[in-house]
Amino acid sequence: MTATQPPFSSRTTGPHSQIDNKFPTSARIGLVHLLIDLVDSEYISNWAVIARELHRISRLSPVEYNLNSATNLKALQNDAIKSLDNLSWEKCYDFCERLYTHLPSEVGYHDNHEDYIIKTSRGEIQAYIAGEIQRLFLEERLAYEFDEGTVRRRGRKHTTDLITRTQVVLGNPELQSARRHYEKALQFFRNPTNPDYENSIKEAVCAVEAAGKILFPTSKASTLGDLIKWLRYPNNVAVPKAICQTFEGIYAFRSGGEGIGHGGTQGGKATLEVTEYVLALSASQIIYLVDIANASDIDVPF
């Protein structure tokens, strides 16, 4: 899916005003406008489908609707909007996912020969819904993105770009163990309702460690600390001392940060901001390790 450009109002507000743990009233209103558009375009059959799904998510008793009366149809629309207004913020994101996966229906017609002609496929409708939901999230400066039907924590553009580059690098089969660690770090970070920052940091640093051990087998390192010591020696790769200190920094935080590893209690908390920084830094370090391994005389295992 092509990336949606943030609107002018969002770009000029700045990157540090993301809304977390909330689905504000303005976002709900924007979502209602999208629902009206989808019903009017027949991308969703009718408001009864929407209302039933909202009732299901809210765990309200099912309601039978009369779709043959204009008055009832208007009441049905109002009922759905009221249900959306009363939905908890977490379940609003659940509804966005269900709106993409379960509610669309293809648009078509029967021609003069009674052959059914598809005018707009379900896949095309889902792509349209995904783009509109992502646009809504950007307009509202929500701390989440909508990617292939799933709500994920967004992160800053710089972080997202680095993560994408790292995933390309880690696509090499030889780096499978490092990729598993980094993917777990992203899953912990991106959980929309219960992110686990401590485990996200731990897995991100483990990804750096795993990548380094694979890329530099002659180091015989068993930990990232061992690898850092080996990288310092001029006869090996000779990573500048200041750069080695960045590796030492995240390794120390992984070991001593509160609730992260080795029972650390005084090393600082794993906040959203710290976790995103570690994810970005770990991504940069993995890319750097791959680059210097490929540029050196060391026999890289792939």
CA distances from 133 to 38, 257, 294 (A): 12, 36, 41
The whole-number pLDDT of residue 284 equals: 94
Closest CA to 80 of 44, 52, 41, 43: 52
The whole-number pLDDT of residue 186 equals: 92
Q: How far apart are CA 90 and CA 102, in angstroms?
A: 18
DSSP 44-72: S--HHHHHHHHHHHHTPPP----TT-HHH
Q: How far apart are CA 6 and CA 134, in angstroms?
A: 9
Residue type, 200: S
Closest CA to 16 of 192, 190, 284, 273: 273
Q: How far apart are CA 295 and CA 53, in angstroms?
A: 56
The whole-number pLDDT of residue 266 equals: 59
pTM of the model: 0.64
Instruction: List, run by run, the mean pLDDT of 10-residue segments along the chain (302 residues).
Output: 61 62 95 97 95 94 80 86 95 97 94 89 96 94 88 77 86 93 92 87 95 93 92 78 92 77 63 90 94 73 48
CB neighbours of 90 closer than 8 A, spacing ≥ 6? Answer: 192, 193
Q: How far apart are CA 235 and CA 142, in angstroms?
A: 49
